[in-house]
Structure 1
């Protein structure tokens, strides 16, 4: 669901994750049709990186608890 949001409304993807300044920059970028594609790619990559960071944190926490 968030991936579709990142593709169609990239600035909302950043805004929902609490990155307000990044959302504003992304909105300025996506105002133009040419800028929409880089904004969408940026939002999807950022979302995937955030998911990977959470996964890594869970693994580290699980390893420390053993």
Structure 2
């Protein structure tokens, strides 16, 4: 999924169900200069999503 976020940032957002964000990312990605910030944004967003899932799993495990 990280490679998709790097090479196709808007697809990465679409696969995670963030349609409006994918549209904004696609508009940014259209330009050659905007592609790099879009790729960085997608990778950071993916990492944050993974961290949120990890934290939720830890919190759930601690409540038991």
Q: Give your verdict on TM over 0.5.
A: yes
Aligned residues: 64
| Consecutive unaligned residues in structure 2, runs of 5 or more | none
> Which runs of structure 1 show a deviation greater than 2 angstroms over 4 or more consecutive aligned residues?
none
* TM-score, structure 2 as length reference: 0.99
Partners of 1:30 and 1:13 in 2: CA distance: 12
> Aligned with 2:26: secondary structure?
helix
In structure 1, the partner of 2:50 is 51
In structure 2, the partner of 1:62 is 61
